[in-house]
Amino acid sequence: DSGVTQTPKHLITATGQRVTLRCSPRSGDLSVYWYQQSLDQGLQFLIQYYNGEERAKGNILERFSAQQFPDLHSELNLSSLELGDSALYFCASSVDRDRVPIEAFFGQGTRLTVV
Amino acid sequence: DQQVKQNSPSLSVQEGRISILNCDYTNSMFDYFLWYKKYPAEGPTFLISISSIKDKNEDGRFTVFLNKSAKHLSLHIVPSQPGDSAVYFCARNTPLVFGKGTRLSVIA
């Protein structure tokens, strides 16, 4: 158990819909990362938050957005869903010593299926 | 821009032998490289890291080597065990950007 909790574990929704994925980081971790894993695409970095503020942005579509709340949990919002958005979405958290992440701990992922 | 590249999608090794997983990078601005292991239906788990100021870091059966002039790093697993069969990702910080992974199969 990494200490990172993601909900829900599975999600099936229709094209055009909007969903929210939730992540609770490990106790004490200030950074939260979101990743997308599609077939054969590895782990695509989407976005990072540090203590409530956006720190880095990767290949995140404009239809996607995220935020980190004062209690440090994070949500990833995916809207106008397309079939190609079907993937595993992982959240990770890290403590960031001196603002540098040495390692990150991953949740079990949310499997999103768009039909 | 794929900053971290793992050019071998898969590798098969016999139990007891050495497994060598490779990773190339393009951007020299980093603090650490990290290796993660991932089993199916689970999140990746941290394995070992190396600081940019070091050439080698060892932890039990796992050793990571960093060749800065070649912009190359490798993970050595000795001896390889069937339980090591998984997908291995290298990553650089900051933020954590991953390669596409190499699937290691250790054959008993």
Contact criterion met (CB below 8 Å) for A69 and A29: no
Give the angle subtended at the CA of A26 by the CAs of A24 and A28, to the nearest 5°: 115
Say which residues have a Cβ less than 8 Å from residue A89's Cβ, sequence separation at least 6: A6, A21, A34, A35, A36, A37, A76, A109, A110, A111, A112
Cβ <8 Å between A56 and B95: yes
pLDDT tens, position by position, for chain B (108 residues)? 568 899 999 999 999 999 999 999 987 777 789 999 999 888 999 999 998 889 999 999 999 999 999 999 999 999 999 999 999 999 988 788 899 999 999 999
Residue A100 has what pLDDT? 60
Which B residues, 60 through 79, put their C-beta within 8 Å of a C-beta on chain A? Answer: none
User: Residues 8..27 of B with a Cβ closer than 8 Å to A: which?
Assistant: none
Minimum-distance CB partner of B43 among A45, A90, A103:
A90
Instruction: Specify burial of residue A37 (Cβ count, 10 A radius: 0-12, 13-18, 19+).
Output: buried
Sequence-ordered strand ranges (E) for chain B? 4-5, 10-14, 19-25, 32-38, 45-51, 56-59, 62-67, 72-77, 86-92, 97-98, 102-107
Strand-strand pairing, A110-114 and A10-13 = parallel
Distance of CA A81 to the CA centre of its chain: 16
Confirm if A111 and A69 have CB atoms less than 8 A apart.
Answer: no
pLDDT digits (tens, 9 = 90+) for A53-85: 999 999 899 999 999 999 999 999 999 999 999
What's the pLDDT band for A98 if we cut at 50, 70, 90?
A: low
Chain B residues close to A110, C-beta within 8 Å: none
Burial readout B73-98 (b: 16 or more C-beta within 10 A, e: otherwise): bbbbbeebeeebbbbbbbbbbbbbbb
Minimal Cα–Cα distance from A21 to chain B, Å? 15
Q: Residues A49, A55, A60, CA angle at the centre, nearest 5°?
A: 75
A48 in contact with B at a CB cutoff of 8 Å? Answer: yes
Interface check B31 vs A, CB under 8 A:
yes
pLDDT of residue A38: 87
Asked if the C-beta of A100 comes within 8 angstroms of chain B's C-beta atoms, the answer is: yes
Contact call for residues B98 and B91 (beta carbons, < 8 A): yes
